[in-house]
């Protein structure tokens, strides 16, 4: 959150259908700004069904409900590159998530989240349900379900370790030629990663490494490689904070049996979307 962030909670006292005017009056913001906040997922409504995002300015409001505006200009002004559709399988789709795009929005907004982006751009339009996540600053393949049943089936495949995710990562230093298995716990929870060298660039002293994970802990690959002495290039949290390069960590391949037809599926990014040492500055 930025220093300018603020929360506004407005009780609806009478039945009416103008959330924009109510919020504009309570916040002092223009009606246009309120509409933009709605479109970007920062406005919520609490009613008998619970608390959910409110995007329709003409939604009828009942007395006894409450409007919420979570205003953070840094979140609302943020922009990201477009996601790229890799394959539309009907009940689910496979996408390339660019660096900086969120796997899921927050109460402050969701316009930079992959599921919202998919809902707005996939044709024909369908709901988009998150099945798994990628770090915000990582890029790569991500599955989006379009039915709750499909989301459950795919999530079960992840839990049963029947979806194989493979990553390509550029690290600092000369990575060993033998496969390295890293088992350091993360937040007191078992975590296992296997990393193998693809290519070492002596002139840049950087290695392209393929990583397979048996578990999916937060920042697992970044923590394991940094702990082994080979921080991911561009990792400002666990590596070199001053290299000025984007995080070089990409989920480049997914393999699993389709949740509907049982047919084995393999999705792989084109080379131009995968990390390449040659593209890094000297």
> To the nearest 10°, the Cα dihedral for 181, 184, 189, 192?
-10
Residue 242: its pLDDT value, please? 64
Q: Are 135 and 219 in contact (CB under 8 A)?
A: yes
User: Domain 6-76 - what CATH class?
Assistant: alpha beta
Q: Are 192 and 215 in contact (CB under 8 A)?
A: yes
Which residue in 151, 89, 96, 91 sits closest to 268, CA to CA? 96
> Under DSSP, is residue 79 helix (H, G, I), strand (E, B) or coil?
coil
Our CA angle for 21, 26, 27, nearest 5°, is: 100
3-state secondary structure 224-250: HHHHCCCCECCCCCCCCCCCCCCCCEE
- Domain boundaries in the chain? 6-76, 164-251
Residue 1: its pLDDT value, please? 60
DSSP-derived secondary structure for 61-76: B-TT-EEEEEE-HHHH
Residue 261: its pLDDT value, please? 84
Q: Are 234 and 270 in contact (CB under 8 A)?
A: no
> To the nearest 10°, the Cα dihedral for 86, 139, 163, 239?
170
* Sequential pLDDT tens for the chain (282 residues): 656 889 999 999 988 778 999 999 999 999 999 999 999 999 999 999 999 999 998 889 999 999 999 999 999 999 999 999 999 999 999 999 999 999 999 999 999 999 999 999 999 999 999 999 999 999 999 999 999 999 999 999 999 989 999 999 999 999 999 999 999 999 999 999 999 999 999 999 999 999 999 988 999 999 999 999 999 999 999 987 767 799 999 999 999 998 888 889 999 999 999 999 999 987
Sort 184 into a burial class: Cβ within 10 Å, 0-12 / 13-18 / 19+.
middle
Q: Which residues contact 10 (CB under 8 A, 6 or more apart)?
A: 22, 23, 26, 66, 67, 68, 69
**d(C-alpha 50, C-alpha 97), whole Å:** 30
The residues that are catalytic are: 135
**What Rg do the C-alpha atoms of the chain give, in angstroms?**
22
User: CA torsion sign, 13 to 14 to 20 to 24?
Assistant: negative
- E-strand ranges in 16-77 read 43-47, 50-53, 66-71
* Omega cis (within 30) before 124: yes
- Topology of 164-251 in CATH? Pseudouridine synthase (3.30.2350)
Which residue in 36, 39, 35, 42 sits closest to 106, CA to CA? 42
Q: Are 26 and 37 in contact (CB under 8 A)?
A: no
């Amino acid at each position: 959150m930025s220093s300018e962030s603020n929360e506004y909670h407005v009780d609806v006292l009478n039945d009416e259908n103008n959330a924009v005017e109510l919020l504009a009056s309570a916040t002092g913001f223009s009606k246009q700004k309120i509409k933009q906040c709605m479109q970007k997922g920062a406005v919520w409504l609490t009613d008998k069904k619970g608390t959910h995002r409110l995007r329709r300015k003409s939604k009828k409001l009942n007395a006894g409900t409450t409007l919420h505006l979570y205003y953070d200009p840094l979140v609302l002004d943020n922009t990201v590159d477009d996601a790229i559709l890799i394959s539309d399988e009907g009940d689910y789709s496979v996408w390339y998530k660019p660096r900086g795009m969120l796997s899921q929005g927050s109460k402050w907004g969701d316009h930079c989240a992959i599921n919202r982006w998919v809902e707005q751009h996939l044709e024909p339009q369908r709901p988009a349900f998150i099945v798994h996540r990628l770090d915000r600053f990582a890029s790569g393949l991500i599955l989006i379900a379009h039915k709750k049943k499909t989301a459950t089936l795919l999530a079960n495949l992840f839990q049963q370790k029947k979806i194989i995710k493979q990553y390509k990562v550029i690290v600092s230093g000369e990575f060993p030629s033998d496969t390295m298995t890293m088992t350091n716990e993360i937040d007191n929870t078992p975590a296992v990663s296997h990393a193998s060298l693809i290519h070492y660039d002596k002139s840049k002293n950087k290695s392209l490494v393929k990583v397979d994970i048996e578990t999916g802990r937060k920042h697992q690959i970044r923590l394991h490689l940094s702990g082994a002495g080979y921080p991911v290039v561009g990792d400002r949290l666990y590596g070199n904070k001053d290299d000025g390069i984007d995080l070089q960590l990409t989920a480049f391949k997914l393999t699993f049996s389709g949740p509907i037809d049982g047919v084995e599926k393999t999705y792989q990014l084109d080379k131009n979307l995968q990390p390449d040492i040659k593209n890094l500055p000297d």
